[in-house]
Structure 1
Amino acid sequence: MKATKSALLVGVGGQGAILTAKVLVNGLMKAGYDVKMSEVHGMSQRGGSVSTQVHWGEKVYSPVIGKGAADIIVAFEKMEAVRYADYLKPDGVAVINDYEIASSSIAAGLCEYPDGCLEAMQQHFRCHVLKAGEIAEQLGNAKCMNIVLFGSMAKALGMDDIDWEAVIAETVPPKFRELNLRAYRAGHDAVQL
């Protein structure tokens, strides 16, 4: 087995970050890795920030990822990428959904959505930016955006040795299985290495 790796999945409540982390954990465990996962919901039911940390390797003692230690950040919303950027290793990779969700203060008119989120990330990190929401809508259901992002993450990390399609088929509800398999393939194809 390879050295310990870590992923930080960040988004806004309702975007599917936790289901995505469960797909990741299930696949890694099937591949024989020791895996630890931690999730922080915060005010997620009110549109607040959600973060999930996943650590895997031969032996892992904690799911907690310190600042500057994540191998990858998967941001389901672009402002969340910036919010958690200090957790990414200098040579880490970010998969960022080019998607905006107005926070409660933005929606109330107290401030504006910040410009330059993607550019700020691209200035400091290797980034794969995609419009996962649009890809999901083209597939017929915007809610599979999370699995589109998962496919991009799997490719960005070079984790093609795991049968992710089988893991997805076992993890998602049967009525959404085919849609999520197509979402995984579309996200995987969206990343150019």
Structure 2
Amino acid sequence: MSEHKITNILVAGIGGQGVMTAAEILAQTALAQGYDVKKTEVAGMAQRGGVVTSHVRFGDKVLSPAIPPGEVDILVGFEPAESLRWCSHLRPDGVAMVSTTRQEPPVVSLGLFDYPEDPVGQLRAANIHMHAFDAGAIAAGLGNFRLVNTVMLGAISEYLPFAPEILKNVILERFRKHKPKLVEINEAAFEAGRAAQAKA
């Protein structure tokens, strides 16, 4: 965690991957634990498929929702190129949780951005503390690619200042209220994320 007992989490990915939902769940969980919470989102393109980042900050007292460069404790990268784009914002003792599932944003097909040749390799070369695994394949293996955000939340749960079970219960409670049939599969996705992080 950063100084003054503030935890800074940057969630980055492509629209439709569940970046904003993951950030919302993290903020909701921290708020329930009594933390002061600030959250902000930046969507590079409004439509589905655009680049999306979300800053989540919580602690005793948080003044600004934006995480200063070099102060990110946990980078949650739903996409490897986006993880590479933001890894320089990590603290020296920060951690990157990276899904290796490649999903090119529209700016690539429009010729506005060149997709890195080997973003995961470049991340490894950056000598950062990183856990990299294919969250998309894990989600697909469970039968639903939309489970990626639950997989990623499970993966970072060991690095949060509250027990993984607390985060998991917030996720499952959301489904109990709105989509009870999805509770069991989301619990499996959360635990699969924890297992992937432990191996990566």
State if a TM-score over 0.5 links the two structures.
yes
Q: Does 1:19 align with 2:21?
A: yes
1:83 matched to which residue of 2? Answer: 85
Q: CA deviation at 1:156?
A: 3.6
Shift in CA distance, 29/162, structure 1 to aligned 2, threshold 3 Å: farther
Matches within 5 A, 1:26-37: 26-37=28-39
1:186 matched to which residue of 2? Answer: 192
Q: CA deviation at 1:192?
A: 1.8
Shift in CA distance, 161/139, structure 1 to aligned 2, threshold 3 Å: closer
* Alpha-carbon distance in 1 for matches of 2:108, 2:123: 21
**Residue among 56, 59, 62 paired with 1:57:** 59
Q: CA deviation at 1:10?
A: 0.3
* Alpha-carbon distance in 2 for matches of 1:85, 1:171: 30
Cα offsets for 1:56-82 (capped at 9, x unmatched): 111111111011110011010000011
Output the amino acid matched with 2:129: R
Matched-pair contact (CA < 8 Å) for 2:158–2:164: no
Shift in CA distance, 141/61, structure 1 to aligned 2, threshold 3 Å: same
Please state whether the residue corresponding to 1:51 is helix, strand or coil: strand
Cα offsets for 1:139-166 (capped at 9, x unmatched): 1111111110111011244642651222
Q: CA deviation at 1:184?
A: 0.8
Q: Which runs of no fewer than 5 residues in structure 2 stay unpaired? A: none
Cα offsets for 1:2-48 (capped at 9, x unmatched): 81110000000110011111111111111111111101122041422
Q: Which runs of no fewer than 5 residues in structure 1 stay unpaired? A: none
Please state whether the residue corresponding to 1:53 is helix, strand or coil: strand
Matched-pair contact (CA < 8 Å) for 1:14–1:45: no
Q: CA deviation at 1:106?
A: 3.3
2:137 matched to which residue of 1? Answer: 134
Cα offsets for 1:96-145 (capped at 9, x unmatched): 00011123353357875322211222233100001101111111111111
Q: CA deviation at 1:49?
A: 0.8
Q: CA deviation at 1:188?
A: 1.1
* Alpha-carbon distance in 1 for matches of 2:155, 2:10: 14
* Alpha-carbon distance in 2 for matches of 1:68, 1:44: 27
Percent identity reads 36
Matches within 5 A, 1:102-117: 102-108=104-110, 113-117=115-119
Matched-pair contact (CA < 8 Å) for 2:151–2:190: yes
* Equivalent residues, number: 192
TM-score (norm 2): 0.87
Cα RMSD between the aligned structures?
2.0
Shift in CA distance, 43/112, structure 1 to aligned 2, threshold 3 Å: closer
